[in-house]
């Protein structure tokens, strides 16, 4: 089915055969923030709101839900960790049927350099990636649960889901594009070291494929949430990894409000 679409550039990883290393902070002198080579490609990004069948977490690997929040100020860490985490936990239980949800981090992002400095928000990520790999997704469970519970939970289905939303009105610039998990082949996913000051995580960078089917939700509102599956222990054809990226939307109005968003990452157990 063809839906209205825009064309935009997204940054893939060029195929060099090397394992890329990406820094989340200013790397030591002489080391680049990203060792891989970018491969910018023009892609069609369809309007997911126009799809006859709404995408689901287990089929496409992403889903949009109506979800109002009582949080008035996302700069207030207490409101985020108190009110918002509880709202997201309830949302994920309802949407997935999970028996346990463990929220383990969140990130604020802004396109405005001033707001970033003020709030310790990060920049949008303009490169195609998935936050976890088969290894690092599973590792999240042992990172965040005590050993006895982790051992038990790892025997059953477990997943990681990101909950992404605008925290300031409708998204007018630099929206998030999501790729249909069914259009991604295992060979497109390249394990990449993600270096934090205190640990090294593993994410997937993504190589270009003409098969990729991209979508976005135009003008996503702050009473909507975008759920993205970033890891699933199932290997039966259920969406396991998706891919996503921020992109510069060519239809953005000349004067646009900065994009400000929050993403929460959660382990969900079945
Ligand atoms: C995410 C993510 C990037 C962005 O939520 O996992 O990659 O620009 N976000 O919001
Ligand atoms: Fe991400």
Q: What is the percentage of the chain residues whose pLDDT exceeds 70? A: 100
| Per-residue pLDDT band at 15 (split at 50, 70, 90) | confident
* Rounded alpha-carbon distances, angstroms, from residue 177 to 32, 39, 76, 152: 26, 17, 27, 35
pLDDT tens digits along 220-236 = 999 999 999 999 999 99
For the full predicted model, state whether its pTM sits above 0.85: yes
pLDDT of residue 3: 93
Helix or strand or coil: residue 162?
strand
Q: pLDDT tens-digit profile of 196-219? A: 999 999 999 999 999 999 999 999
Residue spans of the domains in the chain: they are: 5-269
> Per-residue confidence at 166, pLDDT binned at 50, 70, 90?
very high
Burial of 41 (0-12, 13-18, 19+ CB in 10 A): middle
- Does residue 244 have a pLDDT over 70? yes
Q: Is 127 in the pocket of ligand 1 (CB under 6 A)?
A: no
Distance from residue 148's CA to the centre of ligand 2 (Å): 29
pLDDT confidence of 31, banded at 50, 70, 90? very high
pLDDT at 1: 62
- Cβ of 171 closer than 6 Å to ligand 1, yes or no, is no
pLDDT value of position 98? 98
Looking at every residue in the chain, the average pLDDT score rounds to: 96
Reference 37, options 62, 20, 50; nearest CA is 20
Mean pLDDT of 59-70: 98
Would you say how long the chain is, in residues? 270
**Binning pLDDT at 50, 70 and 90, where does residue 59 land?**
very high
pLDDT of 223: 98
If one residue of 110, 127, 194, 261 were mutated to test the ligand 1 pocket, choosing by the most ligand atoms within 8 A of its CB, it would be 261
**Average pLDDT of the segment spanning 162-171:** 97
Question: Of ligand 1's atoms, which has the minimum distance to the CA of residue 164?
Answer: 5
In the predicted structure, residue 120 carries a pLDDT above the cut 90: no
Q: For atom 1 of ligand 1, which residue has the closest CA?
A: 263
Give 175 Cα–ligand 2 centroid separation in angstroms: 13
* Residue 186 pLDDT > 90: yes
Please report the pLDDT score of residue 119 as a whole number.
Answer: 84
- What distance in angstroms lies between residue 265's CA and the mean position of ligand 2's atoms? 10
Quote the ligand 2 centre to 82 CA distance (angstroms).
23
Q: What is the pLDDT of residues 65-89, one digit of tens each?
A: 999 999 999 999 999 999 999 999 9
- Measured in angstroms, how far is the CA atom of residue 63 from the centroid of ligand 1? 15
Q: Mutation test of ligand 1: which of 109, 262, 266 has the most ligand atoms closer than 8 Å to its C-beta?
A: 109
Contact (Cβ atoms closer than 8 angstroms) between residue 122 and residue 108: yes
Whole-number Cα distances in Å, 151 to 67, 93, 145, 157, 179:
33, 21, 9, 12, 32
Give yes or no for residue 184 having a pLDDT over 70: yes
User: Span 91-98, mean pLDDT?
Assistant: 98
The answer, yes or no, to whether residue 33 has pLDDT greater than 70, is yes
């Amino acid at each position: 089915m063809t839906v209205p679409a825009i064309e935009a550039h997204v940054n893939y990883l060029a195929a060099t055969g090397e394992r890329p290393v990406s820094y989340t902070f200013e790397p030591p002198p002489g080391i680049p923030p990203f060792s891989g080579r970018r491969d910018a490609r023009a892609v069609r990004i369809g309007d997911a709101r126009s799809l006859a069948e709404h995408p689901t977490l287990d089929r496409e690997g992403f889903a949009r839900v109506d979800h109002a929040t009582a949080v008035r100020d996302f700069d207030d860490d207490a409101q985020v960790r108190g009110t918002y985490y509880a709202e997201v936990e309830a949302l994920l239980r309802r949407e997935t049927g999970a028996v346990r949800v463990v929220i383990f981090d969140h990130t604020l992002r802004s396109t405005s350099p001033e707001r970033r400095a003020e709030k310790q928000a990060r920049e949008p990520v303009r490169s195609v990636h998935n936050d976890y790999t088969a290894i690092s997704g599973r590792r999240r469970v042992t990172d965040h649960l005590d050993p006895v519970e982790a051992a038990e939970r790892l025997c059953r289905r477990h997943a990681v889901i990101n909950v992404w939303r605008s925290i300031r009105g409708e998204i007018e610039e630099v929206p998030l594009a999501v790729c249909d998990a069914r259009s991604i082949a295992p060979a497109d996913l390249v394990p990449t070291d993600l270096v934090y000051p205190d640990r090294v995580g593993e994410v997937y960078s993504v190589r270009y494929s003409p098969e990729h089917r991209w979508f976005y939700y135009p003008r996503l509102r702050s009473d909507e949430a975008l759920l993205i599956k970033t890891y699933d222990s199932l290997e039966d054809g259920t969406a396991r990894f998706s891919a996503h990226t921020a992109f510069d939307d060519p239809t953005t109005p000349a004067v646009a409000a900065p994009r400000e968003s929050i993403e929460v990452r959660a382990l969900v157990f079945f």
